[in-house]
Structure 1
Amino acid sequence: MKLTILGGGGFRVPLVYEAVATGATGLHVDEITLQDVDPGRLRTISAVIEGLREQLVAQGRTTRPPALTVTTELREAVAGADFVFSAVRVGGAEARTIDERVALDLGLLGQETIGPGGLAYALRTIPVALDIARTVADAAPGAWVINFTNPAGIVTEAMRTVLGDRVVGICDTPIGLVRRVGRLLGVDLVGGERGADVDYVGLNHLGWLRSVSVDGHDRLPGLLADDSALEEIEEARLIGKDWVRADGALPNEYLYYYLHTSSALERIVGSTSTRGEFLATQQGDFYGAAAEGSCCSSPLEMWRSTLHEREATYMAESRDEERREEDVAGGGYQEVALRLMTAIATGRSERMILDVGNVPAGHEADPVSRRIVPELPADTVLEVLCTVDGDGVHPRPVAPVELGRLGLMSSLRAAERSILEAAVTGSRQAAWQGFSTHPLVSSPTLGARLLEGYIAGHPQIDALLTRR
């Protein structure tokens, strides 16, 4: 079995290698191919993985580690692949800093996936994602594509226009929320312990855990009423215990940016650097030191130290304290991806929260009655609980979505749809509409200024929008 990782020089790629090599799910992968447009980053991450492989073998954690190959050529990388992980970052961390600063200079939220920064990221990424999808369809038509590239919802939606249900989006924030709740209840909600069920619904980075059933009894109201329990749930600490109690649901942590926008802006502006600037410096130092061989420790040891700092400071603008150790350690998108691969490859059923189409496979002829959320378009990518097996990914039904949540989802989806149109057609008007109508902007004047700023800051967007 061959796994290809696009964006293979990315900082978190060794996490995927470790998860696959140790084979906790019993799935054996013979070969992992890393592809990246930056050969220097490929060399660095390959060195980290080589050290990791030696360590895993010495510790007895693997006896048959996957062979590792690297290439800068997309078609060569995906040819013959059974699974393709797409984790590209168009423009690198430096482009992310532009996404942030253009918005912040206008008094708007500058964040990688939320608000105008996320739309700019999508606008320059979608053409690349579509090229990837077309190459996979041609060179590896039987492969499944697992998309990690942010913003995951809109990028997955774009790739689905080429690959259909064979592309699935993954985000680790919903599974982190479910894991924390399950830990409090003493129930394996992630693994789908018998008698346990959850209702999670939303878009990527805009979702809610609305019920947690154990033996037919919804345990969520009891958790929401318990201050000590909520103190152990990161999302409740971020958003506010009183709010989650009043709302009757536990939100994805990214709801912080919608519910506490002013506070988030104040904290970001008051910081010495944005998150993108921090990562550009931190990871730039890591890649530079590793390439020069000037680090005092091995590439693997330096990578582990840098990774811990990165994870501990995640969403730092939302916290008054460093992220708790139990929220840093354990699991992540690589775990979800490995479980997804195992279920498809072996037929062993798994349950997980994934980004999938609003119309389940096989029901395209009758989309309205079969939509997971009937009020949203059929091609919307939703984040919901799914069952995965040898026949593919099967979204589970959800309860009707409340009006307030549906309104926010619809507003965000409409803005993203305009950005998708702009990315495909090169329409400046569609891009302007997308930026203007995002729920964290809601201003044609600011939308126009955002568009001007991103055209000036990103050569990819400038080139894209000069088509028409």
Structure 2
Amino acid sequence: MTQQSGLKIAVIGGGSSYTPEIVEGFIRNYDKMPVRELWLVDIEQGKHKLDIVGNLAKRMVQQSGLPIEVHLTLDRRAAIKDADFVSTQIRVGLLEARKRDEHIPITHGVIGQETTGPGGMMKALRTIPVILDICRDIEELAPNAWMLNFTNPAGIVTEAVTKHSKVKSIGLCNSPVNVQKFLAEQYGVSEQEVLPEFVGINHLHWVTSAVVKGEEKLPELLEGGVTYTAKNVPTTGWDQRFLQSLGAIPTYYLKYFYMTDMMFDEMKEAMDKNGTRADVVSRVETELFELYKDENLKEKPKQLEQRGGAYYSEAAVNLMTSIYSDRRDIQTLNVANGNIYDFLPQDASIEVNCVVTAQGPTALPPKRVPDHIKGLLHAVKVYEQLTIEAAVTGDRGIALQAMVHHPLVPSVAVAEKLLDEMLEANKAYLPNFFK
């Protein structure tokens, strides 16, 4: 990184509706992290959105008066060449593929969700080969760059990069950021005065400590039945007695595992009435891009927070700034396990608090890992590892083992039906499985 000339940043999937948030972050943090070139990259199918959101990005930068060059391109290699940071926020198959990921499992009596269960598995199978192809470009054209991955399922994708490339990669999720904001609001303090501790993996973590202004508040939160949720997860409430005995605040994605029947019923009812979350997001995105077209709009619109995934770009900019500035603050990231959890492989991706330096993140061992969560963590990690292997090899037998061993899939018979139907539905994006 050449601090004199400023930074080059490439955003792969730059036509995303999230992009105005990351642009806002670069503008707000310019004094701490001067961006010289911002390259927004997309594919031919996303060119229309790239043009719309890219022109909004240019208006935002022009309004700021900062000397940031915004480039819109379909040439990924040109964007990556000599970049300092590469941020990935892609959706292979677009929202139509997500819709199939959610709808097909529900017709078989199984949770249909973007990153969890059979839907998450299909998203990973489509995504991993594309991400690894991006990594080959980074290895060749920007070997010193940091890759920040937001592409879901973030933990599985980050682990695939660790196992199958030499790229310096870090996985990010907006959920820990939301927890920190939630606790700060709960106690009326700044976010810097809050330190939650996370145990687990991406979209499968528990808050096992919540320190506010130096005081542990977890028992108080559990006593009051305080939990947090997100716009993309149904609002079914937790059982108070269960939370007390759990001794931790579970992420909202754990509702799919702890309250499977109720969550499925909510999903089925929603699909029958208004469609799944993919249908909702499609409608929200249509409205957002209509807003983005307005040539008088020169800032991130408030409506973007309704999209789900709010503040993910804030996490990205914070991480880049901390690496660039050697800030040594604590952030919750997806990194290789190493020796943090002795019950998971060393190369497994985990979601944990880290100290961020110029050399990257260093994972901090949690104060405690409750025994009763280790089994579920291990089971889901086995599924994730099998999914990565299936994505890389195109082996249907391994893919079947991944599907069978996901805790939300009830039997081999259901797994076989789901796998056959979902592979066929994704045939255009899974050449490894249709050689």
TM value normalised by structure 1:
0.83
1:223 is aligned to 221
Paired residues of 2:106 and 2:112 also in contact (CA < 8 A): yes
Q: What percent identity do the matched residue pairs reach?
A: 32
What's the CA shift string for 1:226-256, capped at 9, x where partnerless? 35xx27x448984344432331111112112
User: Which of 307, 311, 314 is the equivalent residue of 1:310?
Assistant: 307
Letter of the 2:93 partner, please give it: G
Distance 1:303 1:160 in 2: 33
Find the residue that maps to 1:401 and give its secondary structure: coil
Between the two proteins, the alignment pairs up a number of residues equal to 420
Q: Shift of residue 445 of structure 1?
A: 1.1
Q: How does 1:142-291 map to 2 (within 5 A)?
A: 142-164=144-166, 166-188=168-190, 190-191=191-192, 193=193, 197-213=195-211, 217-226=215-224, 230=226, 233-234=228-229, 238-271=237-270, 272-284=274-286, 287=289
2:60 is aligned to 52
Alpha-carbon spacing, 1:64–1:93, altered in 2? closer, same or farther (3 Å): same
Distance 2:97 2:426 in 1: 7
CA RMSD between the two structures: 2.5
User: Which of 334, 350, 364 is the equivalent residue of 1:396?
Assistant: 364
2:4 is aligned to none
2:20 is aligned to 14
2:112 is aligned to 110
Distance 1:246 1:240 in 2: 10
Paired residues of 1:168 and 1:354 also in contact (CA < 8 A): yes
Matched, 1:88 2:106: no
Paired residues of 1:454 and 1:461 also in contact (CA < 8 A): no
Q: Shift of residue 342 of structure 1?
A: 1.2
Q: Shift of residue 346 of structure 1?
A: 1.5
Matched, 1:27 2:33: yes
Distance 1:24 1:74 in 2: 24
Distance 2:147 2:347 in 1: 17
Letter of the 1:408 partner, please give it: L
Letter of the 2:224 partner, please give it: D
Alpha-carbon spacing, 1:80–1:450, altered in 2? closer, same or farther (3 Å): same
1:344 is aligned to 323
Paired residues of 2:180 and 2:195 also in contact (CA < 8 A): no
Distance 1:25 1:202 in 2: 35
Letter of the 2:335 partner, please give it: V
Paired residues of 2:13 and 2:90 also in contact (CA < 8 A): yes
Distance 2:122 2:17 in 1: 22
Segments of structure 2 that go 5 or more residues without pairing to the other structure are 1-6
Higher mean alpha-carbon deviation, 347-356 vs 209-218, is at 209-218
Alpha-carbon spacing, 1:214–1:123, altered in 2? closer, same or farther (3 Å): same
Higher mean alpha-carbon deviation, 170-179 vs 421-430, is at 170-179
TM value normalised by structure 2:
0.89
Q: Shift of residue 217 of structure 1?
A: 4.6
1:97 is aligned to 99
Alpha-carbon spacing, 1:41–1:376, altered in 2? closer, same or farther (3 Å): same
Q: Shift of residue 393 of structure 1?
A: 0.8
Letter of the 2:322 partner, please give it: A
Q: How does 1:305-384 map to 2 (within 5 A)?
A: 306-311=303-308, 332-359=311-338, 371-384=339-352
Distance 1:398 1:308 in 2: 31
Q: Shift of residue 259 of structure 1?
A: 1.7
Find the residue that maps to 2:263 and give its secondary structure: helix
User: Which of 416, 422, 425 is the equivalent residue of 1:457?
Assistant: 425
Distance 1:280 1:302 in 2: 22
Paired residues of 1:6 and 1:88 also in contact (CA < 8 A): yes
Segments of structure 1 that go 5 or more residues without pairing to the other structure are 315-327, 360-370
Which of the pair has the greater relative contact order for Cα pairs under 8 Å at 6+ separation?
Answer: 2
Distance 2:158 2:296 in 1: 33
Alpha-carbon spacing, 1:279–1:46, altered in 2? closer, same or farther (3 Å): same
Find the residue that maps to 1:239 and give its secondary structure: coil
Distance 2:148 2:268 in 1: 35
Alpha-carbon spacing, 1:302–1:115, altered in 2? closer, same or farther (3 Å): farther
Distance 2:421 2:372 in 1: 32
Find the residue that maps to 2:105 and give its secondary structure: helix
Find the residue that maps to 1:5 and give its secondary structure: strand
Letter of the 1:243 partner, please give it: F
1:323 is aligned to none
Distance 1:286 1:12 in 2: 10
Distance 1:179 1:24 in 2: 23
Q: Shift of residue 411 of structure 1?
A: 0.8
Find the residue that maps to 1:421 and give its secondary structure: helix
1:362 is aligned to none
Letter of the 1:257 partner, please give it: Y
User: Which of 27, 42, 62 is the equivalent residue of 1:36?
Assistant: 42
Q: Shift of residue 99 of structure 1?
A: 0.6
Distance 1:145 1:78 in 2: 10
What's the CA shift string for 1:15-59, capped at 9, x where partnerless? 0001111217722111110010022121011122233334xx3xx
Distance 1:75 1:121 in 2: 24
